[in-house]
Structure 1
Amino acid sequence: MSRDCFTPYDWSRSFLLPADMASNIPLRGAVGMLGAHNAARGLLVEICRHTGAHPTFLHYGETVLDHGAIIVVDVSATAHLPNGEPLCVKTRTLHRRHDDDARNGDWSISVDGVTYPGEDRRRSPSPPMQGWIVHRLVRRPTSS
């Protein structure tokens, strides 16, 4: 079911989300819309593509810090894996006023509430790469 909810057009990086899911941003992009919203939709589409999950929820948020010197973008993407288990992915990206100020950890990811500092980066990976990272982390065994 999960792979059937997207069409080949979605894989072409248009990142269209199904109408039956919840989101605080538009499910489809259009000319003149924020590219950041397209990247957020892309995260959810690519998570589903790489894990076989079905999308259910997307939340995008921005916070301005230090008088605009830093903009924090938080994206929460929720889907259900083929076995029915929920999958919640959160990314955080710090955009700094001066690109030279970028540092490791400006992009971070958590999956189902578990943070992965080893995945931190200076800049956010592309949505397809983020989907692959989630795929790899979901398959990683956890210690009890």
Structure 2
Amino acid sequence: MPSDCFTPYDWSRSFLLPAHVHSNIALRGDVGMLGAHNVARGLLVETCRHSGAHPAGLHYAETVLDGGAIVIVDVTATAHLPIGELLTVHTSARHRRHGDARDGDWSISVDGVAYPNDDHRCPPSPPMQGWIVHRLARRPTSG
């Protein structure tokens, strides 16, 4: 693959957040930025894409435990559903820095309701997380 096959645009185009979104990380990616930030932005973008919601906020946090051996990444995405209700999605991924990748632990909750999943070792892709949110999100009732 040629060395010039990627441009700076490639690093920022996937998950761009609107200017009105309240976030503690950059609203768009750039060369040299953390991939974890792209995944966090992806959670909000894919949540909105799958649920029809409008993005409101994004909070990213890392906690390092046991002298750096364990890293916990928490992401909270908020959006407004078309019916006006607030949708809150929280993911948490815990990984050992120098261990077996199968030792990870991942969870997702929507409005405080945890997603029951048998395999919690690795987080799914942002599009799959958006689909999970769509399945768990409140839906208006007819009648």
Pairwise TM-score range, normalised by the shorter structure: 0.7 to 0.9
Higher Rg: 2
Equivalent residues, number: 129
Question: Which residue does the alignment assign to 2:73?
Answer: 73
Question: Which residue does the alignment assign to 1:32?
Answer: 32
Runs of 4+ in 1 over 4 A off after TM superposition: none
In structure 2, the gaps of 5 or more residues are: 1-11
Question: Which residue does the alignment assign to 2:56?
Answer: 56
Question: Which residue does the alignment assign to 1:3?
Answer: none
- Contact map agreement 1:58 1:76 (CA 8 A) in 2: yes
Percentage of pairs with the same residue = 73
TM-score by length of 2: 0.82
**Cα distance change, pair 135–113 in 1 and its aligned pair in 2 (3 A):** same
Larger helix share, 1 or 2: 1
RMSD: 2.1
Question: Which residue does the alignment assign to 2:107?
Answer: 108
In structure 1, the gaps of 5 or more residues are: 1-11
- Contact map agreement 1:13 1:42 (CA 8 A) in 2: no
Give CA-to-partner distance per residue, 1:72-104, whole Å, 9 cap, x none: 000000000111111000000012123426347
SS of the aligned residue for 2:137 comes to helix
- Contact map agreement 1:69 1:96 (CA 8 A) in 2: yes
How far did 1:137 drift? 1.1
User: What amino acid is the match of 1:131?
Assistant: G
